[in-house]
Structure 1
């Protein structure tokens, strides 16, 4: 597993580290989960070449303090699910996790070829190149140890810096594609390009034929303006590239640190277990993954009916684990300037939600969820953009966390 992203991918503020022993057979490089060293807010200056594998534990340093990333949480729940349920009596499924995220980087600097923001010559290593070095070094070390090696996926925890670029009028899109011919119009296009470049780069090194999907966590932690385009573009990328760009779920359910931007140490480990569920479904069970998201949204008079993809039915409206922001997080919009108000939200089947309006809508009707932030509030289960719709997933955790699948941020047309 390769991991990338910005500060939340490398565990900023997620201290102290929690996972200091390895209960399964998961591994990391002897130089740590993060081979990049001499790192600061602008990047990492050195890629430290690994010489062996060691048991996967947390405690890496990106800045000057040891942190918990999501890496061990992910790998260890995969180990648990394999040992106790999915691979009983079969060989263990051992994961090597390496991470080349960078604090504060927009997509432009994380993608293939990087960016020119830091001058020429660039004093910092290019994150994408570090990822390819991780693949090459892992391939060599695995071969020397008599093991097979394949890259199953790339994980991404990202979006905040591009969000702020948009809200400050500094958006880097559109931008030329890394292929030299295409134009990347927006963040959704970027996610498809990111996956393609990792897929091609990995296959060139390993010779594998298995595709390398991009597993992404949906951003739910903006708090400067009411709305963000990033989470809806992340969902768009998931629908445009099925099985290649995969949306794991939303991030409003996790524990945040005191700065109201980064995850706590428990938040990081909890996130890892959500990535693990998707990994196990896709690569051990061989099944596609769909988060809780709308499958169909229709209007009949004053009633909007939304059918959802539901990993583990039935759907539940849960205002105990997440506080109710109003209408369980659902919003209705039309082009009238004064859209109908929601009078009721009900679960009416294992996969169906009924939203009742106070009058018939005008044109351009849309159903939205977890869509609006109250500026200058903290994200999470008590405030920030959020909702109360979840499934009934009872997947066991290694760490006593609940692992329900919560509905993603969406803004869907009503048919």
Structure 2
């Protein structure tokens, strides 16, 4: 049967919540079957291990008895017999012979068993009835029982382990490395340990993919507002050009621009307060909007505000949403607004700050609701909600100091995270939510969709990548309200911090992709980040949540140059300070191994994205094949920087691989 497009208002089963649930149930059933099989195999291995340990214990006892017997030739039922078959013979309490040490030095015998030394030096203990090999003592060390090998090989990172014929290892006693107190092993991770870590990491990611997100307002109204908030990056600051000048997918804005011409409270639209098709606009500060020709006439070093991430966010979301549901552009239209204020800390943008900037959100939302409910500029009257607040801020907090409102600027991870939690709560309470104080009454609060601050803005004033770690932790600890779409360090920029027009669009596409997962597929979105960090000796093993395996090393764009770093962005710190890295390797679909220049002692932590290591960047990403709605554009002979001429990108959709979030996290001892 040929595939056909369903009529408007209908959807294929696989595109519906029911279809998704049925698929999830089938996946869960298959996973359960695999889990049962794995458990059965585990039970069998456990039984074999227990039997081997029992036999080895008996053997050890017997050998100990033999050693004691050879030292006492005339006591405890052991007699010397130089002229006989045994040089020493062993007797039980009743005087019966139970074995002995052969006079010719070829081995020992016990009742029912005999030993022999093989050409390679292995001592083999076999049944005297010829029924097969029972125990081998290899010359290289260890004991083999029934196909299982008990190893104390110094080349492994365990003191005692059992290995089967296929190389699978069950560790009985892990090695104690010198950093952990005892032992002299190098502490490196075995292939089996790496595979185990990789499987656990992939398993955690599979669980995330099956979870359901239902705690924020989905864009189910006739008009669905996205209120972008933050500092200059939330306004398209220093983009230096405008690219998204064609209205697409039914997206709207209020007035002549997504960006308010004023940078102070309250938020005011440029031009007439009415709904308009969404387009990117250019301006310098609060001056009038510039045409493309006027922008091109400006000196090359003139900073111009241009494309804004929220514009590309809605285009990406709509391209995926409309294709998913098979609906026209007029269905559930989005509205884009930027309420950000340049150079401001989270303290100055918070509810209750003397600056009053928070009121820009309520003013903009109230105006959006009135236009939607009454109808505007030919757009029919309809229902309204605030479904998402893109939060793009963090640069000012990396700098520290005192806020305009007179309070200290939070620079620690814990301090910033607490303020982000409070901001999220205040948006739900005073801007849009179910409570009586909300300017917009709606069943659920909007999703707080964040990015992660990177590049030249990163520093270590208080904590390594303190603000970035806070942004990641907020998303991990409050996934019901906050989701981090992506870090911004891989995208193109002009000054090592502010993105250029392509970079802002690129970031916006990442945000739209994450929003689609949350508000259409109903799945929580998490960025690429560590889920386990273990240290042993001089090595660190990191398992990651990877949205689309496998992991890949790639080159982020620093300004407009693809740039590599020897440490790929990683750093390791222990009680002795920051250690050098001799190696950084991807060793699984979701696992990275670091090798330090020395044994790691005491408390160990791992960083990714420190400025001193990699300029606030990094080289680790996944393999997400999602196609961006926008493509990289270069216009020669315009105000765009000549360095934006990147043949590898021009004319192609922005790559939407998920890059690793900056982090600073403790490791545990393996």
Residue 329 (str. 1) matches residue 569 (str. 2):
yes
**1:214 paired residue among 443, 448, 453:** 448
Does the CA-based 8 Å contact 1:24-1:76 persist in structure 2? yes
Partners of 1:373 and 1:19 in 2: CA distance:
35
SS in 1 for 2:333: coil
Partners of 2:261 and 2:457 in 1: CA distance:
31
Cα shift at 1:245: 2.2
Q: TM-score, normalised by structure 1?
A: 0.84
Partners of 1:246 and 1:333 in 2: CA distance:
28
Equivalent positions of 1:10-409 (< 5 A) are 10-34=235-259, 36-39=260-263, 43=264, 47-48=268-269, 51-59=273-281, 61=283, 63=285, 64=287, 66=290, 67-84=306-323, 86-88=324-326, 92-116=331-355, 126-145=356-375, 146-166=381-401, 172-173=408-409, 186-201=415-430, 202-203=432-433, 204-222=438-456, 225=459, 227-257=464-494, 259-319=495-555, 322-337=562-577, 339-373=578-612, 384-398=615-629, 399=631, 400-409=653-662
Partners of 1:230 and 1:325 in 2: CA distance:
22
Q: Which residue of 2 aligns with 1:380?
A: none
Does the CA-based 8 Å contact 2:551-2:586 persist in structure 1? yes
Does the CA-based 8 Å contact 1:82-1:92 persist in structure 2? no
Q: 1:45 to 1:72 in 2, by over 3 A?
A: closer
Offset from partner CA, 1:263-297 (integer Å, 9 cap, x none): 11111111111110111110111000110000111
Partners of 1:88 and 1:48 in 2: CA distance:
33
Partners of 2:570 and 2:625 in 1: CA distance:
25
Partners of 1:70 and 1:61 in 2: CA distance:
16
Q: 1:296 to 1:225 in 2, by over 3 A?
A: closer
Q: 1:320 to 1:172 in 2, by over 3 A?
A: closer
SS in 1 for 2:353: coil
Cα shift at 1:147: 1.9
Partners of 1:225 and 1:89 in 2: CA distance:
46
In the comparison of the two structures, how many residue pairs are matched?
A: 382
SS in 2 for 1:72: helix
Q: Which residue of 1 aligns with 2:160?
A: none
Residue 413 (str. 1) matches residue 656 (str. 2):
no
Does the CA-based 8 Å contact 1:222-1:373 persist in structure 2? no
Q: Which residue of 1 aligns with 2:69?
A: none
Does the CA-based 8 Å contact 1:82-1:93 persist in structure 2? no
Partners of 1:99 and 1:38 in 2: CA distance:
11
Partners of 1:277 and 1:299 in 2: CA distance:
34
Partners of 2:621 and 2:267 in 1: CA distance:
43
Q: 1:46 to 1:303 in 2, by over 3 A?
A: closer
SS in 1 for 2:476: helix
Does the CA-based 8 Å contact 1:232-1:410 persist in structure 2? yes
Partners of 1:58 and 1:95 in 2: CA distance:
15
Partners of 1:253 and 1:319 in 2: CA distance:
8
Choose between structure 1 and 2 for higher RCO, CA contacts under 8 A separated by at least 6 residues: 1
Partners of 1:141 and 1:199 in 2: CA distance:
22
Q: 1:135 to 1:186 in 2, by over 3 A?
A: same
Partners of 2:576 and 2:423 in 1: CA distance:
38
Does the CA-based 8 Å contact 1:331-1:367 persist in structure 2? yes
Cα shift at 1:334: 0.5
Q: 1:353 to 1:95 in 2, by over 3 A?
A: same
Q: Which residue of 2 aligns with 1:377?
A: none
Offset from partner CA, 1:66-94 (integer Å, 9 cap, x none): 5211122111111111233x223588452
Offset from partner CA, 1:363-395 (integer Å, 9 cap, x none): 110111112347xxxxxxxx6221111010111
Does the CA-based 8 Å contact 2:235-2:338 persist in structure 1? yes
SS in 2 for 1:150: strand
Cα shift at 1:324: 2.3
Q: 1:111 to 1:19 in 2, by over 3 A?
A: same
Partners of 2:584 and 2:414 in 1: CA distance:
36
Cα shift at 1:318: 1.8
Offset from partner CA, 1:340-381 (integer Å, 9 cap, x none): 43222222222111222344311110111112347xxxxxxx
Cα shift at 1:189: 0.6
Offset from partner CA, 1:207-262 (integer Å, 9 cap, x none): 212232321111113358555421112122222222322222211111112x4332
